[in-house]
Amino acid sequence: MSRTPAEIVAQCQNLPTIPAIALEVLRLSREENIDLKEIAGVIARDVALSGRILSVVNSAYYGLPRKVSTIGQAVVMLGMASVKTLALGFSLADTITSRGTAAGDLTSFWRRSLHMAVAARTFAARKIPILREEAFTAGLLADVGVMAMHDAFKRDYADLCAAPGCSHAGIVAVERERFGVDHQQLSLAMTEAWHLPELLTLPIGHHHDSETVGGADAMLTSLADVLRVATLCADVFCTEAQGDQIKAFETAAEACLGLDSESCRSLVVNLHADIQEVAKVLDIQIPESLSYAQIVQQANQELTRLNLQAQQRMHEAERSQREASERLEVLEESNRQLAQKANTDPLTGVYNRRFMEGFLEREIARAARFRRPLSVLFIDVDHFKQINDSHGHLVGDAILRQLAKLLGAATRDVDCLCRYGGEEFMLTLLETELWGATQLAEKIRRLVAAWKFKSDGQETPYHVTVSIGVAAMNPNRPVDKELLIQMADESAYAAKRDGRNCVCALRKRVSPLPETETPAASSASAGDARRR
């Protein structure tokens, strides 16, 4: 069963208590017809306390025009609220310090508490002057619940406070999640156990979330807002301030107290010096703080450094992206070249048989789907073996390279020219019917027959002829690529058998017609017509 904050506080063994004199001062201050001499008399009974109060009253922090020599004079000149605040502050400083390290890091505790107290008094003097001393007291006591958290949860809470990234601004939510209670709830329970007035206890119990005070009176709500802004101000001074902490503080100051950024900064311009003065008179040792202007300057410098780092990282990312893009381009080019090598005949530079078969299969499917014509030419160099045997393979290779260029120049970009194997070439003609394919085949045959092929180092040209077989696909009767190639191959074989240097379509000679053949061609014996 979970414990209430009051139960947790009651079970703690090492929490501070308010000395009898401070309690008596608090009791007297709540009476309606209080005699200031009576309060002065109670304080005067404690010589050490009286001396310390007179010391702070005569310090630069209060800036009185003349020296005060008695507690009675101090009560008259400062007012009962100020003297009450000093008595309570000195008493708590003594009793908390006497608890040693059991309450956690006392230096950090006092540093933060004094910043909150002085900041709260400063803002209250602007917002609610009549409660400036109560604001100081509330700020001084706001974090006493931290000591109760240390006492109740010991090592677990110490580890939480020491965890990387742990900040006072965000610790409340973590406390509630880990322990079911937070330090401001325990601060409220402790101050209620001391019988402090609600004017102090409620703002103390809501110093991180003043908006939750509820339907309290205006004075109490204003004091809660002052304490909340003082809490955020202490975050700036007591932690390694970042731009977001400064922004949170100044935003809250404007929202809760109506202070714009310039007014807010003017109020805290000497806050660091005031805090050192109060720490000195309370005999509390805390490290000196930077001024608010120096903190803002450091935060701006840090922001500038982070911006430069961000820009550097951005430039590095852009450079890395460019390098990656360049590497990708190189890789894509390499892949393109590899793909080209994989799809290209190394001797002639035209597509190879592997690429042609894939291309032809796709185009047959497209032509069948859209009912479009498609034709294939099978081109075979005549007597190529004799050329290799008579003149050597280098000459044969040169002829094949020149023939590939000649064929490429005679065809469209959308068509596909490939070296099918050896001295055989194949040309796939898109959107071309049998008649058009036959006309192109005859044009190619004439072009090759008239061309003067040359080889390096040879002045005498070589005359070469080709036999061409033509096949076409009927859009209404699709065929597969193997059958279409077979039809073109058989037509080319028919052209070989019919005397070479001619065109055959569907295994029949279509050009040149027999009566236009040259004597050499007509004298060729069909029996001598071997394909390769």
Residue 467, token pair as written in the block: 């036999």
Catalytic residue among 134, 175, 423, 517: 423
Same-domain pairing of 112 and 85: no
- Tens place of pLDDT for every residue, the chain, 532 residues? 578 988 888 888 778 777 777 777 777 777 767 677 787 888 888 777 788 778 777 877 677 778 888 888 877 777 777 777 777 777 777 777 665 544 456 788 888 899 999 999 999 999 899 888 889 989 988 998 988 898 889 888 888 887 776 667 678 888 888 899 999 999 999 888 888 888 888 999 988 888 877 665 788 889 999 999 999 999 888 887 567 888 889 999 999 999 998 999 998 888 888 888 888 877 788 888 888 888 888 888 877 888 889 899 999 999 999 999 999 999 998 888 888 889 999 999 999 999 999 999 999 999 999 999 999 999 999 999 999 999 999 999 999 999 999 999 999 999 999 999 999 999 999 999 999 999 999 999 999 999 999 988 778 899 999 999 999 998 888 788 999 999 999 999 999 999 999 999 987 887 776 554 443 333 333 333 333 4
CB atoms within 10 A of CB 499: 23
pLDDT at 428: 97
Supply φ then ψ for residue 476, to 5 degrees: -85, -10
DSSP of 30-88:
TSTT--HHHHHHHHHTSHHHHHHHHHHHTSTTT--SS---SHHHHHHHH-HHHHHHHHH
pLDDT at 395: 94
Same-domain pairing of 396 and 284: no
Same-domain pairing of 115 and 255: yes
What is the rounded CA–CA span in Å between residue 477 and residue 475? Answer: 6
Domain range for residue 201?
Answer: 101-289
When divided into structural domains, the chain yields a total of 3
Domain boundary among 273, 289, 305: 289
pLDDT at 216: 58
Same-domain pairing of 146 and 195: yes
Q: What is the CATH number of the domain that holds 419?
A: 3.30.70.270
Same-domain pairing of 79 and 105: no
Instruction: Name residue 186's amino acid.
Output: L
Same-domain pairing of 93 and 140: no
Same-domain pairing of 46 and 169: no
Same-domain pairing of 245 and 173: yes
Calculate the CA 57 to chain-centre distance: 55
Asked if residues 425 and 492 have their Cβ atoms less than 8 Å apart, the reply is no
pLDDT at 527: 35
Q: Is the pTM of this model over 0.85?
A: no
In a domain, 462, yes or no: yes
Is residue 490 annotated as part of the catalytic site, yes or no? no
Same-domain pairing of 112 and 92: no
Residue 492, judged by CB atoms within 10 A of its CB (0-12, 13-18, 19+), counts as buried
Residue environment code for 255-268, b if the CB has 16+ CB neighbours within 10 A, otherwise e: ebbebeeeebbebb
